[in-house]
Structure 1
Amino acid sequence: MTPTTWLQQPRILRVAAPLGVGALFLLIWQLVVEVGHIPSYLLPGPLVIAQALVAHAPTLFLALLMTLKVTFFAFVAATLLGTLAALLFAQSRWLEMSLFPYAVMLQVTPIVAIAPLIIIWIKNTELALVVCATIIAIFPIISNTTLGLNSVSGNLNNLFTLYRASRWQRLVRLRIPGALPYFFGGLRISSGLALIGAVVAEFVAGTGGQGSGLAYQILQSGYNLQIPEMFAALILLTLAGVALFVLMVVLSKWALKNWHESAMDR
């Protein structure tokens, strides 16, 4: 075995292991449904779900695009606003102590409780959905980035003080680079929460019609007892969430690979 092959083997295992577990799970699921003669309106098997996914592909993928559109705008808004809030907190300890508890309150407030109000206040339904999803997705970015900005090495901080660095130089050359791993960790969490927030907001809004998202398709399938279609929509949501997480992991490794231990090949 060459050194190159040996170095690539852990990566292959990291991909093959979860795929193998997933394939085994699907096989057991299909066997349980067939052996137990479970009707599809109670628990459809993977093959029936796949058939439903193919049969309703145009409708489901159009709905997925609408949900991803809300997710994208909410994620961008949460990233910008969360980063700005964290940078603001980093400039003043008093500001952080005064405002950070309100960020926590925003996080722990159930979105299903305030989403109806947001939808009433904001006449544009799509904008209301984006606001709801942003509220859910913003806290991990604020929390992680603030933690990163405050986790500066004491020795490096003393070195910058020794060289009489200005606050701007200390922020740009020390605190922000040191906070990047925390920031990208927040992005990984926030990307999934933005998708969850979009789906929850769609559930609460109950928007239907041609421009509806996957949440509406799930609701309609459940009402009509079209359980295979409902599972197909759920699988699309799951795959979209996994894809977002993987995208954030790739982005993090690309940004940090040349200098931070967390992104170096192991």
Structure 2
Amino acid sequence: MSATDTKIPSIIDPDEARRERLRKLERTGSWLLPLIIMVAAIALWDRICVWNEIPQYILPRPGVVLDTLIKDAALLFSSLLVTLRITVLSLALAVIGGVGLAVLFTQSRFVEMSLFPFAIVLQVTPIVAIFPLINIYVDDQTTKLLLCAWIVAFFPILSNTTLGLNSVDRNLIDYFRLNGATRWQTLWHLRLPAAMPYFLGGLKIAGGLALIGAVVAEFVAGTAGQSSGLASRIIEAGYRLNAPRLFAALILISLTGIVIFLALSWISHLVLHRWHESALKQEH
């Protein structure tokens, strides 16, 4: 047997092998553990209903809720589309307004000092306290809901983007100035890319808040009818003691929030995974 035919056994570092096993275990556990806990919680929910003989109009069993979700799918999913439309539109307006105002703050310190306190006032004032004023001055019902959801989602994008735009390395700013870059060139080529992780973090927060704002606004507005969102279905089911439909609507709202968060997280990863440290660490 020639020397070239001799197979040299590969030497695996025990520490590296252990780290690889831990990485595989973490990847598996990241989806398996929540699934196990969810299944256990649903099973416990079902057993509690059986053991205590709880009436269906107080606490329905999971199977009854699932049957109701299938049976009332046309009604519930049409309401989901109404809530989702308000959520997406309010989030889009929050992105446009938040990013635009953050850029304006960066370009003028006086504008930031003048307007930022008003943004804080909108954030800290409960939407249920603001809605009576909106109800007086705005006639269109959809516009009322959209404005309420926008107020809730606006501030995280504004504050995070402003923080990102102001967190650029001063040495890099000086370098741009030495090379004769204008303020808008510095903004486009330096500040905006540096602020992207902050903006995307605020976007993930605002996505959930936009959904919450849409649901809470509809609760406060008390809308009803065929064009009503999921919050109105919850109110209606509560009045009629239709607990299965109430739980089915709640499940749809929760699943929608999860989908929004996962979609925005995927967008964040898509934008950042090639160059930003926070996304690179997740890959290794």
TM-score, with normalisation over the residues of structure 1? 0.94
Q: Quote the residue 1:77 is aligned against.
A: 93
SS in 1 for 2:82: helix
Equivalent of 1:67, from 74, 80, 83?
A: 83
Aligned-pair RMSD on alpha carbons?
Answer: 1.8
Gaps of 5+ in 1: none
Residue 203 of structure 1 aligns with an amino acid whose one-letter code is F
In 2, Cα distance between the equivalents of 1:161 and 1:86? 21
**Partner residue of 2:266 out of 234, 237, 250:** 250
- Equivalences, count: 265
Match of 2:7 in 1: none
Structure 2 residue ranges without an equivalent (≥5): 1-16
Aligned residue for 2:129, secondary structure, equals: helix
Q: Confirm or deny: 8 A CA contact 1:53 1:229 kept in the other structure.
A: yes
Distance 2:24 2:77 in 1: 35
Which of 10, 20, 26 is 2:42 aligned to? 26
Trace 1:82-93 onto structure 2 (pairs within 5 A). 82-93=98-109
1:198-255 deviation line (CA, Å, top 9, x unaligned): 1111112111111111011000000000111101101100000110010000000001
> Does the aligned pair in 2 maintain the 1:116–1:205 contact within 8 Å?
no
Amino acid at match of 1:47: G
SS class of match (1:211): coil
Question: Displacement of 1:4 after TM fit?
Answer: 9.7
Displacement of 1:9 in angstroms is 5.6
> Which structure: larger Rg?
2
- For 2:160, the equivalent position in structure 1 comes to 144
Greater alpha carbon shift after TM alignment, 157-166 vs 56-65: 157-166
CA apart distance, 1:180? 0.3
Q: Which residue, out of 221, 224, 227, partners 2:243?
A: 227
Superposed counterparts of 1:37-48, under 5 Å? 37-48=53-64
Partner of 2:5: none
Q: Map Cα deviations across residues 133-164 of structure 1 (whole Å, 9 max, x no partner).
A: 10111000001000000111233223223323
Q: Partner residue of 1:162?
A: 178
Matches within 5 A, 1:1-266: 10-264=26-280, 265-266=283-284
Identity between Structure 1 and Structure 2 (%): 49
2:14 is matched with: none
